[in-house]
Structure 1
């Protein structure tokens, strides 16, 4: 059974950095994002880890784990959002007592997806793969990113529909002042293998494949146990590739298959990525076709997920129906227990 938190008006957002903190020269992004949330009626509480960054992490692993756990146990905090991702979140997992975690939303992506997937697999609590806090610092937000609030406000048993974006951002630029967070220049087009309309359903699981792959073979990545204990439907995996070249991505997908992560899987979704460069003549399309041939399931790619925003808010554990036709996509998520 999946347990869904509920975001309500006037909620308090706890901000902690379980992976990377924010360098001093970018503190203004956090402060601006907190101010934007206050204008919308939310309260914000920032932990100490948010403001520090040394040796590729915000603080030692035990300190990061303790601050995260404290926020998850604090009755005054309703939602936890890291400022952004990073590199070494996996260090904190062994120091978290998952039995102490209260039912509340955790929202983020990139390295944060290690924590999201581990929490859902270990506890059955739904987690939210979507915007980071710093993505919310602008005066305006695009309609795709803004869906994080309606999605997290969906009640158990209810459904929420999201649409593919119209345009997306190809490059990041934190130095350009703009009332908009993102700078959209490219047209969104969802693709499929086979190249035909797709309509699939299942329970969502996923994250940044660069980092969640390291959960394979650990107590925090027992997909089979989760499937047997918490869900009865097939899984729809969603992945986004931040840095892996095509051959490394292929090795990772084969490892996931051998670890039985793809058993009872109805489809796999891939976010668009600027890391998908060919190795020799082995292209990203070859990777997707190989996976399709082996698993005999649809592959949907270049979706709104990951480091080329905007991105949809995917709920780990939710039942979803994903439809793609002529480059456009919809994701209908139902918060089924």
Structure 2
């Protein structure tokens, strides 16, 4: 069975940096984000790692792992939200105390998604793929982003409905801050490879392709064992987003996942918008999706609200989801069962 944490009013949020921390000049952004959380009624417990950044990481791997392990053991910390992603979270995996992890929400994306997927696969604890803490610093949040609180406050055996956004942010403009952080200007359109209505259901698993692909062949990426042990063989809906990969690298990654058995009993695939997807010799992202559809014979929906082109829906690794996409709009119902 999947174990679902519950975010309650007045909860203490642990802020640690298992990947990247913040250099001195960016400390005010984190403090502002945390003050917004405190205004919502949460308490903040800072780790030392969030205040440092050197050589592509917040701190040495052992220090990052120890701090994360301590927050997972600490009963006074009710959820963990890192400031943002980074590059080298994978260094801490072998030092994590999976056998002692209690059920508390961990929320994030990008490099954090590698941590999220590894924890759910190894422990059966649901984890939350969604907004980073640093992006909560705005005076208010758009409706899609703001759903993270509702999702994480859903009780076990309950369900939560989320809809595709109305508009998305085409590119980051850090020199022109806005009250909402995100500049949502472009019409959102979820697209299916077949250009037809799509319905799919199954257990959600996924994250940023750039990093979660490195779980393949390790003790932290055994999807088959997860399905047998925690979800009674239920089918899987995979969700992915591409941060920096070219289309051929994306294609290689999907083929490797297929060869590793990740797509066995797959009922469908959701793929987020991307600012990457650089075509190689005319080979486009849409070509990648068509090739994968032909091979797997499952529905694929792309340009969904997930990843580095915000806003994004909060997707729960391990939750049983029902997805409906029609006329460019999408609905995802997640059941915490």
TM-score tier after normalising by the smaller chain length:
over 0.9
Is 1:110 the equivalent of 2:84?
no
Is 1:331 the equivalent of 2:332?
yes
The aligned counterpart of 1:46 is 46
The separation in 1 between residues aligned to 2:112 and 2:186, in whole angstroms, is 26
TM-score, with length taken from structure 1:
0.99
Is 1:179 the equivalent of 2:179?
yes
Alpha-carbon shift at residue 185 of structure 1 (Å): 1.6
Q: Which runs of 5+ in 2 are unaligned?
A: none
TM-score, with length taken from structure 2:
0.99
The aligned counterpart of 2:210 is 210
Alpha-carbon shift at residue 195 of structure 1 (Å): 1.1
The separation in 2 between residues aligned to 1:19 and 1:277, in whole angstroms, is 26
The separation in 1 between residues aligned to 2:176 and 2:89, in whole angstroms, is 29
* RMSD, aligned CA: 0.7
Is 1:221 the equivalent of 2:224?
no
Q: Contact 2:10–2:42 (CA<8 Å) still a contact in 1?
A: yes
The separation in 2 between residues aligned to 1:281 and 1:178, in whole angstroms, is 37
User: How many residues in Structure 1 have an aligned counterpart in Structure 2?
Assistant: 336
Q: Which runs of 5+ in 1 are unaligned?
A: none
The separation in 2 between residues aligned to 1:281 and 1:163, in whole angstroms, is 33
The aligned counterpart of 1:280 is 281
The separation in 1 between residues aligned to 2:144 and 2:24, in whole angstroms, is 29
The separation in 2 between residues aligned to 1:80 and 1:275, in whole angstroms, is 29
- Tell me the alpha carbon deviations over residues 60-84 of structure 1, each in whole angstroms, 9 at most, x when there is no partner: 0000000001011111110100000
Q: Secondary structure at the residue paired with 2:68?
A: helix
Structure 1 residue ranges, 4+ long, deviating more than 2 angstroms after superposition: 173-178
Q: Contact 2:245–2:278 (CA<8 Å) still a contact in 1?
A: no
Superposition pairs for residues 146-161 of structure 1, below 5 Å?
A: 146-161=146-161
The aligned counterpart of 2:242 is 241
The separation in 1 between residues aligned to 2:177 and 2:292, in whole angstroms, is 42
The separation in 2 between residues aligned to 1:160 and 1:231, in whole angstroms, is 19
Q: Secondary structure at the residue paired with 2:116?
A: helix
Is 1:94 the equivalent of 2:94?
yes
The separation in 2 between residues aligned to 1:105 and 1:53, in whole angstroms, is 25
- Tell me the alpha carbon deviations over residues 121-161 of structure 1, each in whole angstroms, 9 at most, x when there is no partner: 00000000001100100111000000000000001111100
Superposition pairs for residues 64-143 of structure 1, below 5 Å?
A: 64-143=64-143
The separation in 2 between residues aligned to 1:176 and 1:281, in whole angstroms, is 35
- Tell me the alpha carbon deviations over residues 264-289 of structure 1, each in whole angstroms, 9 at most, x when there is no partner: 00001100001112111111111000
Superposition pairs for residues 290-309 of structure 1, below 5 Å?
A: 290-309=291-310
- Worse overlay, 197-206 or 170-179: 170-179
- Tell me the alpha carbon deviations over residues 2-41 of structure 1, each in whole angstroms, 9 at most, x when there is no partner: 0000000000000000000011111111100110011110
The separation in 1 between residues aligned to 2:34 and 2:93, in whole angstroms, is 27
The separation in 1 between residues aligned to 2:100 and 2:131, in whole angstroms, is 25
